[in-house]
Amino acid sequence: MSAPPFASLGPPPLPMGCTQERLGPNGQPYYFNAHTKESTYVRPLPSIPNATAAVTTKKEKPAVKTPIPGTEWMRVKTTGGNTFYFHKSKKTSLWTVPEEIKDALEKFEQEEAKAIEEGKLKAIREEEEAAKRAEEERDREVERIKAEVQNMVKRKAQGDVPVDEVVVSKKPKLEEKAEEDSDESEEEDWQREAAEQLAAEAKVERKRQEEEALKEKELAEQEAKALQEKQIKIPDRVDLSIEEGKALFKTLLREKDVNPLHPWDTSLPLFVSDPRYVLLPSVSTRRDAFDEYCRERARELRQQNVKKEKEAGNPKDEFDRLLATEVKSTRLSWGDFRRSWKKDRRFYGWGRDDREREKRFKEHLKELGEKKRAASQKAEFDFFALLRENQLSQDAVWKDVKRSLTRDPRYDAVGSSSLREELFKTFQKAQEKGRDEKTATIEDSPDNGKMDVDIDENERRRLRKEKAVREREERVRIERGIVEANIGRSRNELNKEEGERDFRTLLTDAIREPQMTWESALPQLQTDPRFRNSPLPVDQMLHLFHTHIGHLRGKHIKSLHTLFESYAPSLATDFKSIPIASLLSSLPVTKLGYTANVLEHEFEKWQRERTFDSRKAFDDMLSENSFVEFWGRLGKIGGEGVDGGVKADDTGEDEGEGGGGKVDMKALAKNVDVREMEKVLKNDKRYITFDHVPEQRERWIRDYLSNLSAPKLSVHLDAPS
């Protein structure tokens, strides 16, 4: 029995505005869209009704910030029409109205509403007054025009009869009546003339408006015509060789930045509408040029990646650069440095283990210390040179001298003001000693005003040697002063470190309550000799005290969170469902001094943090699961994929009548829905955590699947013949 004949379906109808297919210069049909003024070789598909365009939502930003009187809060209205409240000191934001500002906010909103209402009433009154003034002005204008008309009528009536021809006589009543009728008819004639004049002016105005509208219409038509002429037109015929056409076609692909790993069918819509597409005579020639472009472009990308890897250098250089840029102080410990940078590729990319990295870290600290000492010595020598250049007097005072030195960069090179003063005193002492020795030498010298002009060469040599010795001794004295200053400074730093360590030990021994303040702890600390003999300043002691209190509070808060976890193992647990009385009597709560309200706030904060961490772990679970990843991406492939399916394994037996077959992976992916994925994930703890919100959990899985992309398809290049 033969199969029924295949009924071929016609092509889908063209969308609105598209004309029927036309033939291009090479005989290939193309289509023209009258609305967009564009031509394409791909048959356009009909528009799908009720298709909703993707709306790109802009990021919501603050629009209006209004301070709330009497508080440190601000009411912020966003561009999306939402409102939240911001604390200026604490830098915190809340979507709900805080309890502490409810009354102030209500009063402020009432005043604001009252001010808005008063503004509206004021605007209404101003509009009414303006309308009233306009009405009065219109009435006055009407009265003025009416008076002018009456005066004009009177003047016209009086001008008909000259004054010298007026004869006073007694006229009959009939003549008087005729004169009155004549006056009325003249007034009617004048009014008719005025109406005709106004109608003529209105007609002229209307004609002018019609002419302007016609001009605007002609201008719009000219612009549309010019725009249409600017559209790229496909040339009727271009005589190019195959090589020239390929070169232009590859240039087109480079301009469109076509991915060399994408197949021909996927990349075709990117450049099919370009006029350069038809420069090659056939589709096979275009595909050959496309394959050549893919090979060349892939080779270029590989070379670029190799070049980037070479530029990156070896891991040891990266580690040394990290040390050079981030380690600026010799006081930095290895533990702090490792804790800050252990997740950085430059840190873990070099070295067998942390021992090797720590060894290099200590070597760098030693090098850094030597550089700093060399820079410090150079700055001190330059400072002494600066003092010598100024030729200071013997009784000079540092307070007056430093004013003339502040603009010199060698003055700022010595970072400490106390060190500058110390170096100045050392320089003065050296100058005094050198001056005394020089005076004694000059007094003992034979050239003390009486030296003979014909002194021999040996005496001059001896004087030069003595001068060199004096200069050498002066340099030695200066260097000795610098060394003594460095020793004193190092001794002070050592005493400071020892004092800091002793004070920390004192705090550990004496302060064990996290609620204790500095004022309440000061009498207890003053009884200890480690406090009285400490070389630390008060502000540093206060800083160490607050750091110690923060450490104590952190330990108790961590213990409190452990209690929360034992009483509320689920994210759905409410604060009211846990034993509050037992919590209030626990050690962490009593140490921290929390009330029921503060405890509830801490519990809600802990639940929010735990929910956030659990949500992040849920996303990690989805990304780690290979079943979800494979079938989720496979469902995004259109049709049957690139090769039309996956061949089934040959078993030696014919499968069906045709012998052999294919497994359509797309069809299999459609059968794997969210329920199948939930069966795979149901035993994972990160999945069980959200059992109280199954609908929301399912929506998260669907959102994750919708954001997955189709698996990357390999490009099969033709083997060279």
> CB under 8 Å to 365, separation ≥6 — which residues?
327, 330, 332
Domain assignment present for residue 321? The answer is: no
Q: How confident is the model at residue 439 (pLDDT cuts 50, 70, 90)?
A: low
Residue 268 and residue 233 share a domain: no
Is residue 560 located within the same domain as residue 674? no
Same-domain status, 249 and 228: no
214-223 per-position pLDDT tens digit: 888 888 877 7
Q: What is the pLDDT of residue 291?
A: 93
Residue 477 in domain: yes
Other beta carbons within 10 angstroms of residue 308's beta carbon come to 9
pLDDT at 230 over 50: no
* Domain containing residue 37: 13-45
Judge whether residue 554 has pLDDT over 70. Answer: yes
pLDDT at 642: 40
User: With bands split at pLDDT 50, 70 and 90, how would you rate the model's confidence at 298?
Assistant: very high
Specify whether 362 is located in the same domain as 497. Answer: yes
pLDDT at 284 over 60: yes
| HEC-encoded secondary structure of 468-532 | HHHHHHHHHHHHHHHHHHHHHHHHHHHHHHHHHHHHHHHHHHHCCCCCCCHHHHHHHHHCCHHHH
Q: How far is CA 442 from CA 188, 450, 451, in A?
A: 133, 12, 11
State the Cα–Cα distance between residues 500 and 661, nearest whole angstrom.
80
Q: Where are the alpha helices (DSSP H) in 3-72?
A: none
Q: How many domains does the chain have?
A: 7
The predicted-structure confidence for 152-195, as pLDDT tens digits, reads as follows: 767 766 654 444 444 444 444 445 545 555 556 666 666 677 66
CATH code, domain with 17: 2.20.70
pLDDT of 655 above 50: no
Instruction: Look at the pTM and tell me if it is higher than 0.75.
Output: no
Indicate if 227 and 264 belong to the same structural domain.
no
398, 441: one domain: yes
Higher pLDDT, 639 or 303: 303
φ, ψ for residue 77, nearest 5 deg: -105, 130
**CATH number of the structural domain spanning residue 677:** 1.10.10
Element spanning 215, H or E: helix 173-230
Collapsed DSSP state (helix, strand, coil) of residue 239: coil
Asked if 521 and 545 touch (Cβ cutoff 8 Å), the reply is: yes
486 & 536 share domain = no
Does the pLDDT at position 107 exceed 50? yes
Among 220, 237, 254, the domain-final residue is 237
105: amino acid identity, one letter: L
**Would 613 be classed as within a structural domain?**
no
- Better pLDDT: 1 or 613: 613
Average pLDDT of the chain is: 75
Better-predicted residue by pLDDT, 398 or 278: 278
Looking at residue 437, what is its pLDDT?
57
Tokens of 364: 């760098």
User: What pLDDT does residue 292 have?
Assistant: 93
Question: Would the pLDDT of 621 be above 90?
Answer: no
**End-to-end CA gap in the chain:** 45
Asked if 202 and 262 sit in the same domain, the reply is no
What is the per-residue pLDDT for 643?
44
Highest mean pLDDT among 23-32, 106-115, 449-458, 640-649: 106-115
Cα distance between residue 620 and residue 198, in whole Å: 83
Whether residue 69 is contained in a domain is answered as yes
CA-CA distance, 478 to 434, in Å (whole number)? 11
Residue 54 lies in a domain: no
Same structural domain, 425 and 358: yes
Assigned domain for 711 exists: yes
pLDDT for 329 equals 83
Q: What is the mean pLDDT of residues 574-601?
A: 82
Query: Pick the residue with more confidence: 510 or 163?
Result: 510
Asked if the model's pLDDT at residue 84 lies above 90, the reply is: no
Per-residue pLDDT at 26: 64
Neighbours of 513 (CB within 10 A): 13
442 shares a domain with 527: no
Which range is least confidently modeled, 78-82, 104-108, 306-310, 348-352?
A: 306-310
Clarify whether residues 441 and 382 are in a common domain: yes
Residue 335, domain member (yes or no): no
pLDDT at residue 168, as a whole number:
41
The pLDDT-based confidence of 492 (bands split at 50, 70, 90) is low
Alpha-carbon dihedral 182, 183, 186, 187, rounded to 10 degrees = -150
380 and 406 both lie in a single domain: yes
> What's the pLDDT at 296?
93
